[in-house]
Amino acid sequence: MKKSYQGIEQKRAHGDVWFNDLKRKRSQGPTLSTNRYENYKESTKSIHAGQYDDPTTGALGTPIFQCSTFYLNESSYEAIEEGRGRDEMIYTRYGNPSQWSVQEKLSALENAESSIVFSSGMAAISTAILGMLDKGSHVVSSRDIYGGTYNFLYEDLDKYGMSVTFTSPTDIEEIEAAIQDNTKILYFESLTNPLLKIVPIEAIVALSKKYGLRVIIDNTFLTPYNVKPLDLGVDLVVNSATKYLNGHSDLIGGTVSGSRKLVDRLWPQMLKNGGSMDPHVCFLLERSLKTFALRMRTHNSNALELATYLENHPNIKKVYYPGLASHDQHALAKTQLKGKNSGMISFEIKGGDKNAHSLLKLLKLPKEATSLGGVESLISLPYNTSQASLTKEQQKAIGINDGLIRLSVGVEDIEDLTSDFEQALHYIFKKQPNYA
């Protein structure tokens, strides 16, 4: 029998009850009193929001505050005593000007009150989940989530006396049926890996309101450029900053953004887990975010053109890309993503994994590597990378077919990318006329 909101609320742990009753007003941030440029568009926010121009030296741009600790003063002591330690510079794991600066830029891009940056995407994910749960809690999530997240939910929650149910990321009836009296979180990815299924965020938010739950969305594949989950009613949004937010394949990081009230709740969990972002990495991430909107426009446009080319190629069996009319959820993509789509493509090549491996070797521009979201195109086979931990039967069950390839489209000139695929596919299939 379906549970009512009242029934679930009565069974919630005391921690959530007192937390919801807190009345202290919180400001945005914490902040270095920088301008968020809230009335400006994405490129302007990307460049200017959160940047700290040093008043003493006149340095243009946020310096690297490579220090572990800060002088204590009366303000510091008062903040510690009153539980406001997050709003003072005390110790770099607690907060650092380099962290505050990039967090403000992220908050501007996410339309969030507050953000925290982490040492990795998994540090952000595990902190966001554990920070919102208590003993006995239950999570509803997706079978299609990132392998690291799946393993954390499947293998580790039980150690904390918690549980998880995995469902289809697009079947709202199945998601609702999985909700239990002790469910606290609905955790999904806005665009799944590697089959690029779009999670219907507004429908999931409606479920959360019906049953009094929190929604956490991993928005790594789409980024706040393509969709802002917080604007759709999501409670917390997480990203692997390693990917598109950074965009240069040269750092590891994670982010969480949301209301100040909820992010403050995660901050103590981050302190205990120890996953804070190093000041130098903060500098690199803030530098990279200045070109974020510029890069995303090119990722999106290149991916759409390349997906169209691949769909029309006689030796490509199927293309998974939400910007194509052939995608099962193209209508949802047009409304939820407002036509911006994605920089990711997955496709199946005729001849299966044998030809897929050949293609990866013959391409000159896309690099055969894990990860995604870099300025360079990256290409891999899900069966031996992201979904390698699954059996062949499990892979088939979730749609990982023979010859499936995942492509993170970079910002190279699209004519060069298309020509590269043309020469590689031509070489493979000129020797195999039965596939032509």
pLDDT digits (tens, 9 = 90+) for 300-338: 999 999 999 999 999 999 999 999 999 999 999 999 998
Domain at 293-431, CATH homologous superfamily: Aspartate Aminotransferase, domain 1 (3.90.1150.10)
- Alpha-carbon distance of 206 to 204, in angstroms, equals 5
pLDDT digits (tens, 9 = 90+) for 177-236: 999 999 999 999 999 999 999 999 999 999 999 999 999 999 999 999 999 999 999 999
Which residue, among 159, 93, 86, has the nearest Cα to 126 in the 3D structure? 159
- Alpha-carbon distance of 60 to 271, in angstroms, equals 31
DSSP, residue by residue, 50-75:
T----TTT--SS------SB----HH
Catalytic residue among 16, 87, 144, 218: 218
Q: How far from 243 is each of 31, 196, 233, 240, 402, CA to CA, in Å?
A: 25, 16, 24, 6, 26
Is there a catalytic annotation at residue 218? yes
Asked if 259 contacts 116 with a C-beta cutoff of 8 angstroms, the reply is: no
Catalytic residue among 84, 93, 261, 367: 93
DSSP, residue by residue, 84-120:
-GGGS-SBTTT--HHHHHHHHHHHHHHT-SEEEEESS
DSSP, residue by residue, 10-41:
HTS-HHHHHHHH------S-S-SS----TTS-
Q: How far from 5 is each of 15, 110, 129, 322, CA to CA, in Å?
A: 17, 29, 21, 34
pLDDT at position 1? 36
- The two three-digit tokens of residue 390, written as one number: 């699954």
For the chain, domain boundaries: 293-431
Mean pLDDT by 10 residues, the chain (436 residues): 48 48 71 86 95 90 94 93 92 96 97 98 98 97 92 95 97 98 98 96 98 98 98 98 98 98 97 96 98 98 98 98 96 94 97 97 97 97 82 82 96 98 96 56
Asked if 118 contacts 253 with a C-beta cutoff of 8 angstroms, the reply is: yes
pTM for this predicted structure:
0.92
Is there a catalytic annotation at residue 321? no
pLDDT at position 45? 96
pLDDT at position 83? 87
Peptide bond before residue 63 is cis, with ω within 30 degrees of 0? no
Is there a catalytic annotation at residue 146? yes
pLDDT at position 424? 98
DSSP, residue by residue, 271-292:
HHHT-BPPHHHHHHHHHHHTTH
pLDDT at position 339? 84
Please write down the long-range contacts of 226-231, taking CB distance under 8 Å and 24 or more positions apart: 226/296, 226/300, 226/337, 226/340, 226/341, 226/342, 227/190, 227/201, 227/336, 227/337, 227/338, 227/340, 228/110, 228/111, 229/190, 229/201, 230/110, 230/111, 230/112, 230/257, 230/258, 231/111
pLDDT at position 33? 73
- CB neighbours (10 Å) of residue 23? 4
Catalytic residue among 94, 146, 150, 320: 146
Q: What is the largest CA-CA distance in the chain?
A: 79
Report the relative pairing of strands 367-368 and 344-349 from DSSP bridges: unpaired
Question: Which of the 8 DSSP states describes residue 205?
Answer: H
- CB neighbours (10 Å) of residue 152? 18
pLDDT digits (tens, 9 = 90+) for 11-28: 444 445 545 555 556 689
Catalytic residue among 105, 243, 295, 350: 243
